[in-house]
């Protein structure tokens, strides 16, 4: 067996990032976490860095405002994973990664870069998604272009709908807890989506870091038992029938107007998934599927996930 890789996680205090750090340590990789001075007085992030350190990670200083510090940081790593925030209502730092691409190019030692994706397919959605949600995909594509032009080996990972954001609210925007009484369906609620638990996104990602099959391609995480419509998700929630209302595509788009941009982007993703059915597409030939590649991972089922709320 080859020695394990050195992995640098950039964004390791974030919602997904903390899971990548843990998954990398669990897999036995030498794991570095970028310690950005920008965290300032955010004591939760500071203590999360310390907790990563306690678990065995190595903190390395570096700032997106200091090119040389990024170069020095990536010199430690065979693999750079950057699950930096690209969710507008938290923060959208996707284009910061262009600086990371520059640093990786200069350092020259990185065998694989896994940029911040972990959602639906930006290549498809930058063409088909409504404005302003489209910007999220355009930014991810700008990073892909920079990576490929720099000749950096990569893997793009499509995690589809993370359960925390989509299953917790029964696929309704604006809530992270399900009501026990009622739910509003998107149209007839029958459009299929794909749900992946956040720790599973991290587990599949870490599996692929030194897998030659996933080099320079796109890995899609499509757990077959989590390919479900909103109506099916609702049906798994509790043993009683919820009162159902419905919102049309037009109604959803109308409700977005006058909302802050960050909210519009988020609701645009809901439209994209639950009205347009952007996750119903067949896999493209060159895409690999994670649950087929790594059947040993016991992924979390939606039904199991929903038990947390009961």
Residues that are catalytic: 140
Q: Strands 161-162 and 288-289: what pairing? A: unpaired
Structure tokens at 107: 């350092």
Structure tokens at 71: 């170069």
Q: How far is the CB of 242 from its own copies (least distance, A)?
A: 18
Which one, 169 or 277, has the nearer CB to its own copies? 169
Residue 304: count of CB within 10 angstroms of its CB: 13
Report the 3 state secondary structure along 39-62: HCCCHHHHHHHHHHHHHCCEEEEC
Which one, 1 or 43, has the nearer CB to its own copies? 43
The alpha carbon of residue 145 and the mean position of all alpha carbons in its chain are separated, in whole angstroms, by: 19
Which one, 115 or 266, has the nearer CB to its own copies? 266
Residues 6+ away with beta carbon under 8 Å from 22: 55, 202
Which residues in this chain contact its own copies in the complex, by CB under 8 A?
15, 35, 39-41, 43-44, 46-47, 50, 53-54, 89-90, 164-165, 168, 174, 176-177, 308-309
DSSP 181: S
Structure tokens at 151: 């000749």
Q: How far is the CB of 63 from its own copies (least distance, A)?
A: 14
Q: How far is the CB of 200 from its own copies (least distance, A)?
A: 15
Which one, 169 or 251, has the nearer CB to its own copies? 169
Q: How far is the CB of 308 from its own copies (least distance, A)?
A: 5
């Amino acid at each position: 067996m080859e020695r394990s890789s050195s992995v640098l996680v950039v964004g390791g205090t974030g919602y997904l990032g903390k899971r990548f750090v843990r998954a990398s340590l669990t897999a036995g990789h030498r794991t570095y976490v970028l310690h950005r001075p920008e965290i300032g007085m955010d004591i939760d992030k500071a203590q999360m860095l310390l907790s990563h350190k306690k678990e065995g990670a190595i903190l390395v200083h570096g700032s997106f405002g200091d090119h040389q510090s990024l170069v020095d940081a990536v010199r430690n790593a065979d693999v750079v994973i950057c699950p930096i925030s690209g969710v507008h209502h938290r923060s959208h730092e996707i284009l910061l990664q262009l600086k990371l691409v520059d640093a990786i190019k200069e350092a020259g030692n990185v065998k694989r870069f896994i940029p911040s994706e972990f959602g639906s397919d930006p290549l498809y959605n930058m063409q088909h998604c409504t404005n302003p949600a489209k910007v999220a995909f355009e930014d991810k594509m700008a990073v892909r272009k920079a990576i490929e032009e720099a000749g950096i080996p990569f893997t793009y990972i499509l995690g589809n709908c993370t359960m925390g954001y989509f299953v917790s609210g029964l696929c309704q925007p604006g809530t992270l807890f399900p009501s026990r009484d009622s739910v509003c369906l998107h149209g007839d609620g029958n459009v299929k989506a794909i749900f992946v638990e956040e720790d599973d996104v991290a587990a599949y990602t870490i599996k692929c870091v030194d897998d030659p099959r996933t080099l320079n391609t796109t890995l899609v995480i499509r757990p077959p038992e989590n390919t479900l419509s909103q109506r099916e998700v609702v049906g798994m929630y509790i043993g009683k029938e919820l009162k159902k209302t419905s919102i049309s595509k037009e109604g959803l788009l109308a409700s977005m107007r006058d909302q802050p941009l960050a909210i519009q982007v988020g609701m645009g993703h809901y439209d994209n998934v639950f009205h347009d059915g952007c996750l119903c597409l067949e896999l493209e030939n060159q895409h690999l599927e994670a649950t087929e590649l790594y059947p040993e991972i016991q992924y979390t089922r939606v039904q199991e996930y929903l038990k947390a709320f009961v």
